[in-house]
Amino acid sequence: MTKIKIMSVRDEDIVYIEDWAKQNSVEYELSRHPLTDENIDEVEGFDGLSLSQQIPISEEVFAKLKSFGIKQIAQRSAGFDTYDLELASKYDIIVSNVPSYSPSSIAEFAVTQAINVVRNFNAIQNKMNVHDFRWEPSILSKSISELKVAVIGTGRIGSIAAKIFAQGYGCEVVAYDPFPNEQNEKYVTYQPTLQEAIEGADIVTLHVPATKYNHHLFDKHIFSHFKKGAVFVNCARGSLVDTNALLSSIDSGQIKGAALDTYEFERGLFPSDQREQQFNDQLLQQLIDREDIIITPHIAFYTDAAVKNLIVDALDATLEVLQTGTTHLRVN
């Protein structure tokens, strides 16, 4: 019987793993830990491997996987920037991802958080916490329907976010994507450049994958072209944003505030329990402490539907490789 090692497992994953394994007559072993140099030997004897890896894998680990006969790593996320794909290919390891596990969940979260920043949610909650129930100009906001929204990246997630803003709230929506989607043109006006898309927008929401070519895509220069008082949303990847440049733009008044579900130095932190640890990330602490920023731990996807799809699609890809030698979800 086929045996699969499944690592970085969380409690909410288990019921879906059990159901999938029963339906596919597969044996499995669970680990709550990521794959490391220290625990690589636990993988020996298994046919397949599924990870939710947030830390890089060394060449030594890839070499051992090949020696164990492992042909694939099924990553349970859309992002696969943790992996050195050239190194994986060197050792004949197929890396797959789950490109679309619940785009609606992420899009809905992005829209909700954008609205929360526009409507001064943190400031209102802070006033409530000290029993200050006054209506006053500091928490006065604009109606969402009056705002212009720029959606950067109109793949599965960005397209849904654009549709929600346009058809749900009646916003004017512009977008930038190197590969425009004709189906979106019913409610989106594409702009030829990123800069032209963000200029004049009241909300800028980011939905593009991270690559080695777009590190700090949003930097001091790009933020300087934001409309004064605009809101910025990143539910994509932390590496796309120069955090210090964002903070400077907020401090200067160029940007009103931001909703961030990712952070450029989140690796090893999101998700983890740091309550009993000495917390030394002062930049992240700034983001947490500020009233004009809402930050969450890469949780936009986190719904029942997404968790199930991540498990099922990743494990399906593992079986596909074992049965056919490849998978339609491979990224290298």
Of the residues 108, 264, 266, 320, only one is catalytic, namely 266
Of the residues 76, 156, 207, 237, only one is catalytic, namely 237
CA-CA distance, 307 to 299, in Å (whole number)?
A: 11
CB atoms inside a 10 Å sphere around CB 312: 19
CA-CA distance, 15 to 185, in Å (whole number)?
A: 40
Active site (annotated) includes residue 266: yes
Write phi, then psi, for 95 (nearest 5 degrees): -105, 130
Name the nearest CA neighbour of 89 among 64, 62, 69: 62
CB atoms inside a 10 Å sphere around CB 131: 6
Please state, in angstroms and as integers, the Cα–Cα distance from residue 62 to each residue in 29, 37, 97, following that order: 20, 10, 17
Active site (annotated) includes residue 328: no
Place of tokens 């140099």: 37
Of the residues 76, 156, 207, 298, only one is catalytic, namely 298
Active site (annotated) includes residue 119: no
Strand-pairing partners, residue 185, are none
- Triad 247, 248, 251: Cα angle to 5°: 85
Could you give the residue numbers annotated as active site?
237, 266, 298
